[in-house]
Chains A and B, each alone.
Chain A
Amino acid sequence: MAVDLETREAGWQQDLERAGLLRRLLRARKWHGADWWFVAIASVMVVAFIVLALFPGFFAPHDPREQVGPRFLAPGEKPDVESLIIPGDSGITSLLDIVGDERVPTAVVEGTPSSQAARDEADRITQVLQDRGEDVRLRLRVQRHDTIQEALDELVAGDAVIAVASSAAFDEVADDYPSLDVAGPVFEGQTLSSFLLGTNQIGQDVLSRLIWGTRIALIIGFSASFFSLFIGVPLGLFAGFTGGKTDRVLTVFMDSLYAFPGLILAIAITAVLGPSIINVIVAIAVLYIPTYYRIVRGQTLSVKESLFVEAARSLGAKSRVVLTRYVFPNVIPSVAIIFSVNIADAILTGAGLSFLGLGLPPTTPDWGIDLARGQETIQRASWLITFPGVAVMLVVLAFTMMGEGLMEIFNPKLRDR
């Protein structure tokens, strides 16, 4: 906007006025070095998060609501499960492959849960096979040994067909037995692989919950901001354009709402409405209506006085036309900037609400809920509070940085609103 430009650096600013929105952004690289890069990096992050939120199922390795591993598994740590050890060339991949008439010699270590685990799973498999009507069963002949080396030696010697031992115990001595392999966990459905960000207190995959949480966060952020935009912008335009008593009453009301701690109001609204994502969106949207109202009203007031509006009026343009064709387009850039910062705020508030246990149903894969649960086990599992927090921070940072940078580039006067 021409009004805001300083005369001192008139040269590039004249260029700027001639350039379109996109060219203005690209040209800004010259004069706003770091700000431009802020916007660029932040935009990439925003796009990445939107992609994550659109296709969480594609990126998440597991179902966020399922128990997929042992509880409290640290990031990258291998789960310690009873595993099936076989000679590398035997071709056995699971207990199902050794179903037959004869008892299968199985080497285990005395005093570990291995033999019980092996027999339980064998019984289960037998049961499943018989339920299917097949007349076969899986029977193991368990041979107990004092140490894992003895058990494995027997397997190497061919006196046993399989061995069952905990994966951690096998890993320790695995180098001495190059001919042996781990076929997999004894129990079907268990996993031997580690989880990149660990598992939580009920054995859910932290990474998958993080990725699905992006969707919740962005749904809340975008919907709440759109909602407040659709109410706040028309109200602000109307109040700024007409002025008078309506304007004064609306402004007092909006200022009061603006001054009040939003989170506290959101707490009250969600408490009454009950837990659901729609209610969270409504509660947050109400809080940010004044933000749009104030900015749009202020802009409208100043645009209303500018020369081109006066020209339009004196040419006989109706109020409605002046408002929609002359004033409104000039308000759009600041609304876009507020929108970006607003999404960040809404996501933060949403996370705060669910951290307090309000708003979202407790099974939702949400960062705030994960953080609240993580606090209960802070002494035992620090990874449960670090990663969801980093996720909230990165998303909020991306939207804030984008908004701030754009603000600095497009409309330097607006930054100290």
Chain B
Amino acid sequence: MHPLLLTFMIIGLPAAVALLYVFVRGTTTMRRYILTRITLTIPMVLILASLVFFVLRIIPGDPVTSSLGPKGSPEVKELLRQNLGLDDPLLVQYGRFIGDILTFDFGDSLIGAQRPIADELGERLPATLELVLPATILALAIGVVFGTWAAVRRKRAADYGLRLYSVVIYSMPIFWLGLLLQLLFGVWLEWTPIAGRIDAVIASDLERTTNFLTIDAVLHGNWEALSSALHHLVLPTLTLGLVLSGVFLRLTRINVIETLEEDYVAAARARGIRERVVTYSYALKNAMIPVITLIGLQVAILLAGAVLTETVFSWPGMGRYLVDRISSRDFTAVQSTITMFALFVALISLAVDIVYSLLDPRVRY
């Protein structure tokens, strides 16, 4: 099976099963909402993909000249141009580009071994996901725990301290935080490796099935590889997770504060229910609903952060691939990678919106 498809299945299968369950068991309004929401995703992906296509095409700069360099003879250039279909009218090229997206065939890379880009992405996407998922979980954990704490101790020292933390961490360039962690834990303390996904020697023994190194290591019982992969994950995850945690902390704090002022919370207090129970099982539960929607909007910060984190830690994911290919002027690869990012963003926001509609029955289109 193609690695890219496999990745999508690993991530998408649980979501699809859940969606199917909701669809079959849910009410008619819910079904209609889900369908509307899915239909809305399509224009979003199309708009972003088209934007990328036209930005890369219309702005001056010739992909052929820039990828071959000044040395390429006119004949070679012409040949490449024909092979890539760059002589066709813009609209024909656009149609082909959209068709490529729909069939998940992104064409071949312009440089190097000219591998199919789908193969490259199949290796890179799992690397990015392996970094992004634990980072989000870490960020959510920090954000929810301390955000609630700040809300409970509103306008006291802990609250101001935590708010300051969230502003400071938000103001930090993520790559700088990465560099500092590298310096502290990698260079001075020598606790963790500072670059790459896994030790090269160990990696050569590891059989690849899913390209998620931790999953592969578990599948094949290669515990040495698992330990190496986890060690390499520590710093990048910490970097990305800490930067995101500030945003989640703020969101949780504001929402818990607002929920704590609701009448039903006052009623619970009046019944003599302990404050801890009121906070965590009455207020927090409802406060989390808007936080979940906002996770969707944080995907942009998450992915931008991932690009920078991957560059700092030489993490062979999609972001670093994008930056590499931009410096080597491989426009097919750049275009496809950005489209993948767009797809990723659209799917996450779709998932978030559906989860939100399940949690909060008031929301309907």
Contact = CB atoms under 8 A, between A and B. Distances in A.
A120 to B, nearest CB: 38
Contact of B167 (A256, A259, A401): A401
Interface stretch (A156-164, A204-212, A226-234, A354-362): A354-362
B59 A272 contact: yes
Given A34-B160, A264-B322, A268-B52, A385 B170 contact: no
Contacts of B341: 260-261, 264
B179 A371 contact: yes
A375 B312 CA distance: 8
B175 A378 contact: no
Contacts, number: 150
A396 B172 CA distance: 8
B133 interface: no
Contacts of B55: 265, 268-269, 272
Contacts of B114: none
B180 A344 contact: no
Interface size class of B (residues with CB under 8 A): 35 or more
A393 B167 contact: no
B141 interface: no
A352 interface: yes
B295 interface: no
A389 interface: yes
B13 to A, nearest CB: 24
Contacts of A385: 176, 179-180, 183
B323 interface: yes
Contacts of B234: none
B338 A259 contact: no
Given A389-B172, A416-B251, 13 more contacts: A262-B304, A264-B338, A264-B341, A265-B338, A348-B171, A348-B173, A356-B323, A358-B323, A371-B173, A371-B179, A385-B183, A392-B172, A404-B167
Q: Closest 7 A-B residue pairs measured CB to CB?
A: A389-B176, A263-B304, A396-B171, A261-B303, A397-B171, A271-B326, A261-B304
29 contacts: A252-B47, A257-B51, A259-B296, A259-B345, A260-B342, A261-B300, A261-B301, A261-B303, A261-B307, A262-B300, A264-B303, A264-B304, A264-B341, A268-B55, A268-B326, A268-B338, A271-B334, A272-B56, A272-B59, A273-B61, A355-B173, A356-B307, A356-B308, A378-B179, A382-B183, A386-B180, A388-B176, A396-B173, A397-B167
Interface of A: 34, 252-253, 255-265, 267-269, 271-274, 344, 348-349, 351-352, 355-358, 368, 371, 374-375, 378-379, 382, 385-386, 388-389, 392-393, 396-397, 400-401, 404, 415-416
